[in-house]
Chain A
Amino acid sequence: MSVGLLTKLLGKKEEISHQPIELRTEASIQQWLVTRIAGIAQIGPEEVDMDRPFAEFGMDSMQLFELSGDLQKFLGHDVSEIVAWDYPTIAKLSSYLSSPESLVPAGETVVPEELAGMTLDPQATEPQR
């Protein structure tokens, strides 16, 4: 198990989020991500395209999940588990994580309606049986 996963599973969110937080700069987050992605894709850092989706570097869902744990450790504050899906490129992710909105605790993740196949029906009831 990697450090990122352990941080994610064992880390205590409460303790981290109560400490005073200083945002890192976009450039430093970019550099950190480029190094990480270059290591995963086994290419040189200069070959990493910042507008290319993470999936195209061969990252699977486990690696995207672990990335959020490693980012949490690097940044020193809580990072959503699904941040790499919401911001799927280095450019988008570093821009988001260097902005103050990334410090606002995320609400509960809702199921996108089209994914769960939910039919919105105002007259919906509970079935009788």
Chain B
Amino acid sequence: MSTVSTMRKPIATARDGMRLQRLVAFLVMAMPITGTGVAIYLIVRNGIGVVEIASFLFMYLVTMGGMTIGLHRYFAHRSFETGPRMRVALAILGSMSTQGPLLSWVTIHRKHHAFSDRPGDPHSPHVHENKVFGMLNGLWHAHIGWMFTENSADWSFSRDLMGDRKLFWVHRTYLYWVALSFLLPAVLAGGLTRSWSGAALGFLWGGLVRCFVVNQASWCVGSICHYFGTRRFDTHDHSANNYTVAVFTFGEGLQNNHHAFPSAARHGLRWWEPDLSGTLIWLLSAVGLVWNRYHPSDESIEKLRKAA
């Protein structure tokens, strides 16, 4: 690539794709917010029952687990190995977390690591393109705003996944898996309670409310966890360990640990650090579904620790 060609402006840009992406991003935010409002109104009027709580917890576990274990620790960082069936299962469960199609998600996340809190990071609260943010603008951009600017048509950092046809199929059928994440709790709750009202509550709590909380929690990793928390390692970015976010995101809130050791299967480096996904990966390895989990040695952990 000559230097001259990089100086020139592109002839065309994928504008139409961006428009569709913005619409999807808006729907992904607006519908769960509306549903959560309805759910709060129903709690005030009728109270809350076991169907609501069970639908929410079950779908939260499935989708947050799919995102953190599948999209994040397996596909983006390859922190463990698994077989072809589990690969597809992890891709599907990850897609059900409504965080974006596989190849786009992995590209955005690897860019986040390659340019952490520097120009090129898709969701940094500190900098975007040539803007250096004030605190509130930055947190807004890193939490939600980036969804409207980052182009999901770019898979340039996901080339290692493109050759797998089954994974490519999951990527292409992304919206069906999103739909499944709303239908599944409705069908399960409706079937188990043998009632239409059970199906409606399953859809509301396992679908919309769950989607709202999953969205907010996972966006906190990019925004809050690059501002507030403790920094055990000097990682040349602003990543921080935030234990509250880590509880809700099954360990992803331990951003400082994670940026220090991106391909570690466990983000919690001490026994008390909340990392449900790390424990779930251990359980999966105990039953033989995954193997070769990566973990940095004590020496390299000690070496990267900040001089106290």
The answer to whether B153 touches A127, judged by C-beta atoms less than 8 angstroms apart, is no
How many positions in chain B have a CB within 8 Å of any CB in the partner chain?
Answer: 51
Most A-side CB within 10 Å, residue of B160, B271, B285, B299: B160
B297 → A minimal CB distance (Å): 4
Within 8 A of A (CB), among B198-212: none
The answer to whether A119 touches B78, judged by C-beta atoms less than 8 angstroms apart, is no
B5 at interface (Cβ–Cβ under 8 A)? Answer: yes
Among A19-27, A28-36, A46-54, A93-101, the one that faces the other chain is A46-54
A interface secondary structure, majority: loop
The answer to whether A116 touches B77, judged by C-beta atoms less than 8 angstroms apart, is yes
The answer to whether A9 touches B169, judged by C-beta atoms less than 8 angstroms apart, is yes
Interface flags for A38-58 (1: CB within 8 Å of B; 0: not) read 000111000001011101111
A85 at interface (Cβ–Cβ under 8 A)? Answer: yes
Closest to B291 in A: A126
Instruction: Choose among B17, B78, B265, B271 the residue that contacts A111 (Cβ–Cβ < 8 A).
Output: B78
B243 at interface (Cβ–Cβ under 8 A)? Answer: no
Most B-side CB within 10 Å, residue of A57, A58, A116: A116
Interface size classification for chain A: 35 or more
Interface flags for A91-129 (1: CB within 8 Å of B; 0: not) read 000000000000000001111101111110101111101
A109 → B minimal CB distance (Å): 4
The answer to whether A82 touches B110, judged by C-beta atoms less than 8 angstroms apart, is no
* Inter-chain pairs besides A53-B1, A126-B292, 5 sampled, C-beta below 8 Å: A42-B12, A61-B155, A118-B262, A121-B297, A129-B278
Interfacial residues, chain B to chain A (CB-CB below 8 A): 1-2, 5-6, 8, 10-14, 17, 76-78, 103, 110, 113-114, 151, 153-157, 159-160, 162-163, 165, 168-169, 259, 261-266, 271, 278-279, 282, 285, 292-297, 299-300
Interfacial residues, chain A to chain B (CB-CB below 8 A): 9, 41-43, 49, 51-53, 55-58, 60-62, 65, 80-82, 85, 88-89, 108-112, 114-119, 121, 123-127, 129
